[in-house]
A and B are shown apart, each in its own frame.
Chain A
Amino acid sequence: DQQVKQNSPSLSVQEGRISILNCDYTNSMFDYFLWYKKYPAEGPTFLISISSIKDKNEDGRFTVFLNKSAKHLSLHIVPSQPGDSAVYFCAASDGSGNTPLVFGKGTRLSVIA
């Protein structure tokens, strides 16, 4: 049973436009959420995170929104650039430090020039 779901396997966006990647979770104990970016044959790199006490966190072109009641979060990238083309993973934890991150299956973003 998947606790973290990324229902869109892929997404194509034109350069300069906004990319919106979505993630849903089922475990109400999760209270810390992260996004990772991954290029082929490389390890994922941490992008941005948000704790459940916030509903928005921004870092440059990247913004993560959290809707706890809907158990939904999204990553907005604006403006999208060709270098953003990668697989994006959503991850969640209970924030206790005692449990590993649970990952979604990822969404492949293609930014078209």
Chain B
Amino acid sequence: DGGITQSPKYLFRKEGQNVTLSCEQNLNHDAMYWYRQDPGQGLRLIYYSQIVNDFQKGDIAEGYSVSREKKESFPLTVTSAQKNPTAFYLCASSKYDTGNAAFFGQGTRLTVV
């Protein structure tokens, strides 16, 4: 089945630790994205990548890092510099056609304890 897989679904992190969220897609999509959802805030863009080995900052990139070594994979690292990391993280991908509709994974709930 084609789709986007995020893992893990739930993640707990101690304050001061870095953590990496996985995102894999087998849709042969060119672009991949990371969004963060907080209550009442909608979806805010963290990073995106339109091609392998290239990525751009979104609106709230501070405290996050990404890599795009393979077309299928776009992992997100939440670093200790991120001041408020507890949130629901969503990965998406899209193909370059009219509209650029994005398809989402099931999300990762990160909680800092």
Q: Which A positions have Cβ atoms within 8 angstroms of B?
A: 6, 9, 32, 34, 36, 41-46, 49, 51, 89, 91, 93, 95-106
Q: Which residue of B lies closest to A93 (CB)?
A: B100
CA distance A62 to B33 in the complex (A): 27
A-B pairs, top 5 by smallest CB distance, nearest first, are A43-B104, A105-B42, A97-B96, A32-B99, A103-B43
Asked if B81 is at the interface (CB within 8 A of a chain A CB), the reply is no
A41-B109, A43-B90 as given contacts; A89 in contact with B99, CB under 8 Å: no
Do residues B99 and A49 form an inter-chain contact, with CB atoms below 8 A? yes
A45-B104, A100-B33 as given contacts; A89 in contact with B43, CB under 8 Å: yes
Task: Please name all residues of chain A whose beta carbon is closer than 8 Å to the beta carbon of B96 when the two chains form the complex.
Answer: 97
A42-B107, A44-B90, A104-B42 as given contacts; A98 in contact with B50, CB under 8 Å: yes
Do residues A101 and B100 form an inter-chain contact, with CB atoms below 8 A? yes
Task: Please name all residues of chain A whose beta carbon is closer than 8 Å to the beta carbon of B103 when the two chains form the complex.
Answer: 46
A103-B43, A104-B42 as given contacts; A93 in contact with B48, CB under 8 Å: no
Asked if B84 is at the interface (CB within 8 A of a chain A CB), the reply is no
Task: Please name all residues of chain A whose beta carbon is closer than 8 Å to the beta carbon of B98 when the two chains form the complex.
Answer: 32, 51, 95, 97
Q: Which B positions have Cβ atoms within 8 angstroms of A?
A: 4, 6, 31, 33, 35, 40-45, 48, 50, 58, 88, 90, 92, 94, 96-107, 109
Do residues A100 and B109 form an inter-chain contact, with CB atoms below 8 A? no
CA distance A41 to B107 in the complex (A): 7
Q: Knowing that A89-B42, A103-B43 are A-B contacts, what are 9 other residue pairs whose CB atoms are under 8 Å apart, sorted by A's residue number?
A: A41-B88, A43-B6, A43-B104, A45-B104, A93-B100, A97-B94, A101-B100, A103-B35, A104-B42
CA distance A95 to B104 in the complex (A): 18
CA distance A106 to B90 in the complex (A): 15
Do residues A43 and B105 form an inter-chain contact, with CB atoms below 8 A? yes
Report the minimal beta-carbon distance from B27 to chain A, rounded to whole angstroms: 13
Report the minimal beta-carbon distance from B29 to chain A, rounded to whole angstroms: 11
CA distance A103 to B44 in the complex (A): 7
Task: Please name all residues of chain A whose beta carbon is closer than 8 Å to the beta carbon of B97 when the two chains form the complex.
Answer: 97
Task: Please name all residues of chain B whose beta carbon is closer than 8 Å to the beta carbon of A93 when the two chains form the complex.
Answer: 99-100
Q: Which residue of A lies closest to B33 (CB)?
A: A100
